[in-house]
Chains A and B, each alone.
Chain A
Amino acid sequence: MSLDRVPERAPVTGAVASDREMCVFSTILGSAADAEFHEEIHRLEHDHAVDHLRLAKTDLSRRRLRAVTEAGREIAIALPRHEHLFDGAVLEFGAGSALVVRVEAERWLRLRPTDAPRALKLGYFCGNLHWRVQFDGEDILVAVETEEKTYLDRLGPTLEAGEALLIAEPHAAHPHPQPAGHPKA
């Protein structure tokens, strides 16, 4: 699609359509929380006119990907290196519709070491496996980035030896979610 062929009321978009009409988004317009988008996107949501691209948190670091939106639209993203996807990123806006990135809730395993030396050991163990972790009081939370079984298999001996307890909320989101990485957020 060349500029000359953009319809008069074209939506604001960072995308181009390929020969087969797949849109390639090459910039992020802003955050759905920004004043310039917030009210209108809220209104469009009531009209069921907001399409969402659901991404895992681990995919937010990607600059290029091909994906299918909730509405079943196949799209691609090719961002410059300095741009980052984030929860609420607006890819398309206007003409009665919008496309917004939403990040799926992360799963975390909550582990509670039974004493300080075992906590040190568990921390070393998680670091040695390059697991992404957060701390919450006396607990260590491990992000489940692949199959949960993979983590539980690795933790098996630790749990069986009573060195740590697995707190029963394996599918809960982290209680203190990190803010989106967008500078305007």
Chain B
Amino acid sequence: MSMWEILFTAGLWASVLRIATPLIFGTLGALLCERVGVLNLGIEGIMTFGAMAGWLAVFNGADLWTGLAVAAICGGLFGALHAVLTVSLGLSQHVTGLGITLFASSFSYYLFRLVVPVQGTPPTIEPFGPAFPGLAGIPGIGPVLAAQTAPTWLAIGAVLVLAWVLARTPLGLALRMTGENPHAAEAQGLDPIALRYGAVICGSALMAVGGAFLTMSAFNSFFPTMVQGRGWVCIALVVFSTWRPGRALLGALLFAFFDAYQLRLQTSLGKAVPYQLFLMMPYVLSIVALVIMSRRARVPQALMQPFRRGSR
């Protein structure tokens, strides 16, 4: 199949949406944290833990939606830990986030190994199936939409909700104000600490759901290092999106398009080009996106600045 023909296959576009889903959740989560002024580098570990926790719940007999909820709650707990350390204690957000990533990922591998000892093939669960198979009848995009599972639709819904909350509600205004100038927010009678806690906890829950998509929809089993830097890609996508949910969706789709396209080129170009060059593409693209957008990015003004009452 030529490079051009690939573009017109439903398979390509169906996998674009599938690859984009964890990135959408992760990017929205990181975006929400950063909008209130907290950089959450725990994302990579939180996604790993979400992938493990959701999978483990379903493996132990819970249904898929309960599994997603378990992942979200675990993510929220790690978010609370990050908030205690960075919001209440005002510790370095970089180092704390990395510490959370190291802890959450090693903790999830440990728990996984406790429950599932080493064996030949990892055990599997029955993952999410297509949510609306009836859509296949629509000409053109029908097969693409019909192939998607429920969490993908949830991700797109989450974009709309977050975009509306941030741009159109008093809560959104309060959140954005906390990220721009927490002292001004406090002067308006808002509680910047509570707002930061809430946003970091909700954002981390979103990240964990993104991780859970990997084990509960994209694949059907968990294995260590499966998140593969997707969390860091999300952090780059937040900058690319200039901290706006709509553009985050666009960035995630664009990114997923390149990823899905390279996967297909890999199979059609065969051994002519080393496969590692294709695998490098997502990371290279993220760096390129960062460099392009950094010049005109409007960073939340209070990002990475701890807020302490009564001090400037």
Q: Report whether chain A binds chain B.
A: no
